Amino acid sequence: MTNYTKLSYQLKRKTTNFSKKISKNISKPKTKFVTQTIYGLLKGQSILLSDIARSLKEKITLKKTIDRLSRNLKNFDEHKNIKENYINNISSYITDNTVFCCDKSDIAKPYGEKMEAIDYIRDGSKNERAKGYDTFEIAALTDKKQLPIGIYSKIYSRLEKGFKSRNIEAFKGLDFVEKHFGNKGVYALDRGYDANKYYKYFTKGNKDFVIRSKNNRNVIYKGKSINILKVSNLYKGKYVNYYTDKHGRKRKVKFSYAPIKLPALKNKDLTLVIIHGRGKEPMMLITNIKPKAKKLTLAILKAYIKRWKIEEYFRFKKQQFDFENIRVRSLNSIRTLDLLLTMAIGLIAKFSAQRKTKLKYFVKKIAKRIYDIPKFDYYTIADGIKGILEKTTSGIKKFLRSYYLNRQSHNFRLLSLPIWQMS
């Protein structure tokens, strides 16, 4: 028989310990707010404050809980500190072989008339103009487990004070990663970033990159300026690699290398990677990684052949938590909620990456997807966590009270000991 009381206690403790680490050096009330919000997101699996409030099961009216959450979201000013703590908490997953996948997306809010600085954007899912916000996110695909972990997320609007351009917002995200991880890893960007300013940015900073090229780009090949697609058609695939797609099927691709330069960077030697086997036209990647380097093969496999994991991460964030249904109005509230959701998914990622334990076994067992276990593990983990926490009769408040009392009692016992016994 499944002991839901014990399992829910372990999940609450795991959530509280994680929240405590990412809330280091911020006030106790704000730490409690962070803990309660992350717990509410994991249990309610929804971005709506009403669902988060219901998950907390407090002995006050639902309206009072929602008002408190709304007030804390709007006034939360510890974004920098909590980001630093979160990055420190997940830094062990980042290695030289990590691939940082960058993605520009959007949040469509066609009826969000009262939302702060709401602007017209291009709704990517419907390919039409709509009201909403632009987003820029970076997720890291880890080396060993090949799991996507959110590193950076920024929601912005052209109408907000101080906004300059979408490219500058992207550079802010790239600078953030460089600041915390130096020149570790490989940056992978899709065709939307096939622009000279990005090639100049990466080559100037000596950062490894792989950018998917558009068909209309010209490159310098054997001293002549020629269309990149024409160059690619000269190579039919010298090397072979096998990979498993998101449906579990084994696939084969062929790829070749060609030395090139760009008209805007004539003094920089680059490599054109041509991949056959993923469509009628070859996939063309421009990189500064040398053809013989093992990093290049890893980047190709992880960033583009296995890119579905990163795309599924962004889809998971939007669909599992109904992220586009966000209804808070102020930009600070929206960004705080986005930040805490990214960190809640970070906790799911850490849980997924850990070794097999009884708790992890039961989380997967209780997951509702018993007939169709997805290849992307986060859905199973999230469903299992929700299934366990839904069985508990109390929220996180009672647990937090005993958690802090136990810590205070432990500290008091330490202070009561002679100095030679404190170690």
Judgement on whether residues 69 and 166 belong to the same structural domain of the protein: no
Judgement on whether residues 305 and 387 belong to the same structural domain of the protein: no
Closest CA to 48 of 254, 307, 326, 277: 326
Q: Which residues have C-beta within 8 Å of that of residue 299, sequence separation ≥ 6?
A: 99, 186, 188, 208, 210, 287, 289
Does residue 176 fall inside a structural domain? yes
pLDDT digits (tens, 9 = 90+) for 40-99: 999 999 999 999 999 999 999 999 999 999 999 999 999 999 999 999 999 999 999 899
> What domain range includes position 401?
4-75+354-413
Does residue 186 fall inside a structural domain? yes
Pairing of the two strands 186-189 and 209-212? parallel
Number of domains in the chain: 2
Give me the pLDDT at residue 218, please: 97
Judgement on whether residues 300 and 371 belong to the same structural domain of the protein: no
Give me the pLDDT at residue 418, please: 54
Burial (0-12, 13-18, 19+ Cβ within 10 Å), 155: buried
Helical packing angle, 377-389 and 308-319, nearest 10°: 30
Tell me which residue has tokens 């570790």: 184
Judgement on whether residues 178 and 53 belong to the same structural domain of the protein: no
Give me the pLDDT at residue 253, please: 85
Does residue 34 fall inside a structural domain? yes
- Final residue belonging to a domain, choices 255, 286, 314: 314
- Final residue belonging to a domain, choices 314, 346, 369: 314
Judgement on whether residues 234 and 380 belong to the same structural domain of the protein: no
Judgement on whether residues 131 and 165 belong to the same structural domain of the protein: yes
Runs of H (alpha helix) within 49-185:
49-56, 62-75, 79-90, 166-181
What are the CA-CA distances from residue 409 to residues 31, 404, 413, 414, 421 (Å)? 19, 8, 6, 9, 17
pLDDT digits (tens, 9 = 90+) for 398-422: 888 877 666 555 444 544 555 444 4
- Final residue belonging to a domain, choices 254, 283, 314: 314
Judgement on whether residues 25 and 155 belong to the same structural domain of the protein: no
Instruction: Return d(Cα 245, Cα 88) in angstroms, integer.
Output: 32
Does residue 334 fall inside a structural domain? no
Q: Please, are residues 118 and 106 in contact by the beta-carbon 8 Å criterion?
A: no
Judgement on whether residues 9 and 64 belong to the same structural domain of the protein: yes
Does residue 142 fall inside a structural domain? yes
Q: Please, are residues 210 and 255 in contact by the beta-carbon 8 Å criterion?
A: no
Instruction: Return d(Cα 159, Cα 347) in angstroms, integer.
Output: 33
Residues of the chain with pLDDT under 50: 410-412, 414-415, 419-423
Give me the pLDDT at residue 407, please: 56
Give me the pLDDT at residue 419, please: 47
Does residue 328 fall inside a structural domain? no
Judgement on whether residues 146 and 205 belong to the same structural domain of the protein: yes
Instruction: Return d(Cα 356, Cα 344) in angstroms, integer.
Output: 20
Judgement on whether residues 307 and 372 belong to the same structural domain of the protein: no
Judgement on whether residues 375 and 284 belong to the same structural domain of the protein: no
Residue 257 is part of a domain; what is its CATH number? 3.90.350.10
Judgement on whether residues 394 and 300 belong to the same structural domain of the protein: no
End-to-end alpha-carbon separation of the chain, Å? Answer: 41
Give me the pLDDT at residue 297, please: 82
Does residue 288 fall inside a structural domain? yes
